[in-house]
Structure 1
Amino acid sequence: MRVGFIVNPAARAGSGSALAQRVADRLRSAGVDVRTREPVDAAGTADAVRALSRDPGDGILVAGGDGTVALALRELRGSGIPLGIVPTATGNDLARTLGLGDRDADAAADAVIGRASRHIDLARVTAPDGRVSWFSTVLASGFDSKVNDRANRMRWPRGPLRYTIAILREFLVLRAIPYELELELPGGDTVRVAEDLLVAAVGNTRSYGGGIPICPDAAPDDGFLDVTLVRSAGRLRLLRLLRKVYAGTHAGEPEVSTYRVSAVTLRAVGVTAYADGEPLGSLPLRVDVEPGALTVFVPR
């Protein structure tokens, strides 16, 4: 068995470097030929994936978080080349969805050694100027995108606690935003929504922000996207609702609407959308599902 292994710059810092090395050592001890690449930035990571994909062997691994995975999936989508994930960052939402524990070197390596793979959907995002990008987890817009923006600026703490603190800080300046959405349902009908919203999230998977299940019924292989909309309420009520969001039990609440769609267009003024921990651009944006577009290594 032969694989490429890309270790992003952040993963080479601190404990991430030791984790990536443990994965490589475990693979080699199982007889896997590992070709390691260490790019210096995001552009180099994309270039490394592109170069390895021309002679991928049995698959390509990346060490990093959801942002690193996003760089890889844009190059590997539709290729059939299996992607292995070594979760070394703070979010790791796709890795968690696939059954890979946070910073679990043995599980990450064994998923490759076991050769078990799975096809999952991706979400394609199209801007008005035709620019296209993809994500694997959840698109956040509104309050949750502001949380992402704040969390990305924070140097401390690391891990999911960073998102919790960012949520609490943004909660102090919370306000609803006028949205217009066009939701294309599985049967072909279109639903139009015009409301003031706190959150408009589009999920290919259940969670973002290090495990917050904003789209609790989303599945990455069902050929659809899940949309969660949250309307405003009093602050005490919203604090209680926030607890339900963390538990994934918010879908039935009166302030929450959920939809299953094949595509959705989101419009709002002054809102930047985030997905996989990275900014996608300002609304309006259209999001479509690409069923089975990515092949990933998964635990047996």
Structure 2
Amino acid sequence: MPEQIALLTNPTAGKGRGGRVSALVGPRLRDAGFAVRELAGRDADEALDLARGCVADGVETLVVVGGDGMVHLAVQALAGSSTRLGLVPAGTGNDVARNLDLPRKDALAATDVVIRGRERTIDLARIGARYFVTVLAAGFDAKVNERANQMTWPRGQMRYNLATLAELRTFEPIPYVLELDGRTERFDAMMVAVGNGPSFGGGLRITEGALLDDGLLDVVVILPMSKTALVRTYPKLFKGTHIHHPEYRHYPARTVTVAAPGVVAYADGERIGALPLTVEVVPQALRVLVP
């Protein structure tokens, strides 16, 4: 029998790009000899139910057509299972694809990774029963995410850039308490990020150096700096060169609790909830197809 592949699409990803991309991916997979089950939930809850159904049915590969939000949803079903994740990026930030070195602008090339790629097993991060792949943002970066998600224009990275400038006008350092594998750190900071992978927000490499399969979280703290200095430092996030700034701090950990007043955390670009939150690494939790 042909290998079973489920194709889970967010048709609204990338302002409709998800639906257009899916129309290319399905035929390509069938031409390669796969039996394809096409799925599209009417909302996030239904999409998650569909993904869980695939795992329960023993489908070998679940291919997500969408952005980081759709991957985040699928991972809730796939974590710890034998079903592999394939990804054809069709979102705005596409940081999961970026972290896995997948083609982000060529849907057919990404589909060919599903067809001919190799399997890799990566870690996930977990907050309670909820998993994430990339970065949990809890500070200035989270406030930027919250504003960017409320914006309908522009698309892509420029949306995050404008949201950053808007937040800069009123932002003040936040008092944090971190519990890192049982050790306590207290400080005022601009942001705290907990990375399983290195980037979020469309290529912001806040947790530069984080590896998806090292069994560790990378906790990054940016201590207080002037708004002018923050503006100058911001472009360095795209290259990861902010790690040389004197206000940068890095803590590897397996478990971290982040506490601060009035901060809502985001992970994989999705709203998680108010601090305090405890994040733990779950080693070797997800099977993925990569080049």
Tell whether the structures are fold-level matches, with TM greater than 0.5.
Answer: yes
Give 1:43's aligned amino acid: D
CA offsets, 1:175-217, max 9 Å, x none?
Answer: 1011000112xxxxx4321111111000000000011100111
Please say if residues 175 and 186 of structure 2, whose CA atoms lie closer than 8 Å, have aligned partners that are also in contact.
Answer: yes
Give the letter aligned to residue 265 of structure 2. Answer: A
Q: Which residue of the other structure, out of 119, 122, 125, is the alignment partner of 1:117?
A: 119
Corresponding residue of 2:163: 166
- Aligned position for 2:274: 282
What's the counterpart of residue 213 of structure 2?
Answer: 221
Percentage identity across paired residues of the two chains: 46
Alignment match, 1:7: 9
Per-residue CA deviations over 1:153-178 (Å, capped at 9, x if unaligned) read: 00001111111111111112121011
Q: CA deviation at 1:115?
A: 4.7
Once the two structures are TM-superposed, the CA of residue 33 in structure 1 deviates from its matched residue by 1.4
The 8 Å contact of residues 86 and 103 in structure 1, kept in 2 or not, is answered as no
- After the TM superposition, which of the residue ranges 99-108 and 166-175 deviates more from structure 2? 99-108
Deviation at 1:57, TM superposition (A): 3.3
Q: More deviation in 229-238 or 43-52?
A: 229-238
Q: d(CA) in 2 for partners of 1:18 and 1:81?
A: 25
* Count of aligned positions: 289
Alignment match of 1:259 (pick from 237, 251, 255): 251
Aligned to 1:271: 263
CA shift for structure 1 position 244:
2.0
SS at match of 1:24: helix
State the 1:298 CA deviation. Answer: 0.9
State the shift of 1:30 in Å. 1.3
**Counterpart of 2:8 in 1: which secondary structure?**
strand
Aligned partners of 1:68 and 1:285: how far apart in 2?
Answer: 22
Deviation, structure 1 residue 3: 0.3
Query: 1:13 deviation in Å?
Result: 5.4
Quick check: 2:217–2:252 contact (8 Å CA) kept in 1? Answer: yes
- Aligned structure 1 segments of 4 or more residues deviating by more than 3 angstroms: none
Q: Which amino acid aligns with 2:95?
A: D
Q: Aligned match of 1:76 in 75, 78, 81?
A: 78
SS at match of 1:71: helix
The residue that corresponds to 2:242 in the other structure is: 250
Amino acid at match of 2:122: I
Q: Helix, strand or coil: the match of 1:14?
A: helix
C-alpha distance in 2 between matches for 1:24 and 1:193: 50
8 Å CA contact 2:174, 2:190 repeated in 1:
yes
- Residue aligned with 2:192, SS: strand
Give 1:238 shift: 1.8
Q: Counterparts of 1:99 and 1:280 in 2: how far apart (Å)?
A: 26
Residue 192 of structure 1, aligned match among 178, 184, 196: 184
Q: Which amino acid aligns with 1:51?
A: G
Cα displacement (A) at 1:143: 0.4
Letter in 1 for 2:107: A
Counterpart-to-counterpart distance in 2, 1:179 and 1:268: 5
Gaps in structure 1 of 5+ consecutive residues: 127-131, 185-189
Distance 1:229 1:114, change over 3 A: same
Length-normalised TM-score, structure 2: 0.95
Is 1:67 aligned to 2:69, yes or no? yes
Once residues 90 and 239 of structure 1 are traced to their aligned partners in structure 2, the CA distance between those partners, rounded to angstroms, is: 23
Equivalent residue letter for 1:142: G
What SS does the corresponding residue of 2:143 show, helix, strand or coil? helix
Structure-2 residue corresponding to 1:150: 147
Q: Which residue of 2 aligns with 1:108?
A: 110
1:21 and 2:13 correspond:
no
Q: In 2, distance between residues paired with 1:246 and 1:52? A: 36
Contact 1:9 1:41 in 2 (8 A): no
CA RMSD of aligned residues (A): 1.4
Q: 1:214 to 1:153 in 2, by over 3 A?
A: same
1:273–1:280 Cα contact (<8 Å) kept: yes
Equivalent residue letter for 1:100: L
1:248-279 alpha-carbon deviations (Å, 9 max, x no partner): 01112111101111111101111100001111
Counterpart among 91, 94, 116 of residue 96 in structure 2: 94
TM-score, scaled to structure 1: 0.93
How far is 1:151 from its partner? 0.5
Residue 38 (structure 2) aligns with: 36
